[in-house]
Every structure is written in C-alpha cells, then in structure tokens.
Amino acid sequence: MTQNVYKTDDGNSVIANMMNDVTDVSFKEYILKFHSYSIAPVISKLVFNVFGFLPVDSIARIVSRQSFELAKEELLNLKKVALPQEIKTLLNSDLKKKEQEKILKGISLDINQLGALFLHGEELGYKFSSYRFKGTPQNINKENLPNFAYIDDNDILHRVGGELLSEGQLRALINESKVIYVQMLDNGRQWHAFIRTFQGLKGKESGAQGSVPHIHYYSNKNGTSRKDFVKMIKNGHYPSAKVHIPLI
C-alpha cells in the first residue's frame, strides 16, 4: 500500500492510505497488512507520548505489535458481519448470467458487508484482486494540483497545497475526475467483480439505478475474459454492467 502524510496549515497532519493493485492474493493477509500499516502512524504518536524514553527500536516493536493486534480485531469484527443469503448463493453456486442478475436484484450492501463478502469468498477458495484507475481532466496543469483534497459530508472543501486553483476549480476537479476502483474474487472457475466509481458512489450516474449511491457487479458470465476486463479497467474504462447494488 501507499501512505502519504501531509501537513496542514493549522499544524495537524492528514494521513492518506491507498491500496496498491494486487492480483490473486489472500484477502485476509492483505487486509491485515493494510489495516496495521494504516493505523501505525496514530499508534506511533501515542506510544512516543507515553514511552518516549525508550530506545527507538523498542518503540518500533511496540507500534508494530499493537498495530497488528488492532488490525486482527478489525478482521474478527468483519467475520461477524452478516451477509445477505443472495451473496452467499452467488459465491457458492455456478449461476448463469440471468440467474446472477435475478438473485442480486433488490439487495443492498453497506461498506462492512462489502468487506465481509471478500472474506467469505476466501473461505470458499477465492483469491482476491484489486485494481484502481484515476484520471484527471486534461485542461488542468498537473503542477498546480494539490497534494491532497476532498469534499466532506458537509460539502466543505479541504485541501493541502494547490493554492493556485480556485475553490470552484478544485471542486470541479474533484467532481470531474474519473476514478474506478475494482475488487475481484476468482476461484479459477469463475470470477466476480465489484466496481466502484466516484460518480456511482455519489449517486450521480444516469438512470434510476444510478441516482442512488451504488456499486456495479460484473462477472465472467457476461462474456468478457478476465484479461480483457482488467485491461479495460487499467485504461480507465469498464464494460456496461446491468446489475447495480445500492451501497447504504
């Protein structure tokens, strides 16, 4: 994973964690590493405040151990998350395309269930893959881009750097940037892909299904090879997906 720490004008820090692309790995091992690495900076600050008198290598061992233990707790909590029976049937059965569409019609997931889905998939023998594409509008000079920027749930813009761009320009940049994030499960016989787009998560895609926050579902039963599907994602595209799963 990639981790960047940005200093804000008020003296605080913003930690940005991003998953790297991976292919056919253990979801359990990957998410353990991701969570422990993500929370390590926070644990480090707390440990230094309490045990600052200890040698640096001793503090590093404490941080590593505590971060891993907290990550294990998160994973145990994920195992307790209940999944819709339709998702279990989808992963357990070799369904036809129309059967997949029918069984997923009307279900919704929250972000914890999405994580639990991948964990359940591993228990059934699936390998986990993750791919991400991010494109920015071509009319923006990349040298003027901020180090970090986002719009919170209260519609307040936060930025680190990028002062040459006005608030309107930066808002447009965030809203118009093309982001595709795909997570896949593959057991060698069939694969399932769950596609998140920036516009989809905001419920700003076309059609009735696109007007609510959602993810797209696609599988090998749609007729596209996995190789071609991944190539499309890495080039900033994805095939038309009939199934939309509301993300609540």
For 172-226, what is each residue's pLDDT tens digit? 888 777 889 999 999 999 999 999 998 888 887 776 677 789 999 999 999 999 9
Residue 3, helix vs strand vs coil: strand
Residue 55 pLDDT greater than 80, yes or no: no
Name the β-bridge partners of 3. 17
Secondary structure element (H or E) that encloses residue 133, with its range:
strand 127-135
Q: pTM to 2 decimals?
A: 0.83
Question: What does the pLDDT average to over 227-244?
Answer: 92
- Among the listed residues 239, 195, 236, 238, the one whose alpha carbon sits nearest the alpha carbon of residue 217: 195
Cα–Cα distance, 31 to 98 (Å, whole number) = 32
pLDDT tens figures, 3-43: 556 566 666 656 665 678 999 999 999 998 888 877 777 77
pLDDT the model gives residue 160? 80
Number of C-beta neighbours around residue 232 at 10 A: 16
pLDDT of residue 17: 58
**pLDDT single digits (tens) 112-167:** 999 999 999 999 999 999 999 987 666 677 777 777 787 877 888 888 877 888 88
Instruction: Specify whether the CB–CB gap between 219 and 100 falls below 8 A.
Output: yes
Give the closest residue to 97 by CA, choosing from 247, 205, 248, 240.
Answer: 240
pLDDT value of residue 105: 92
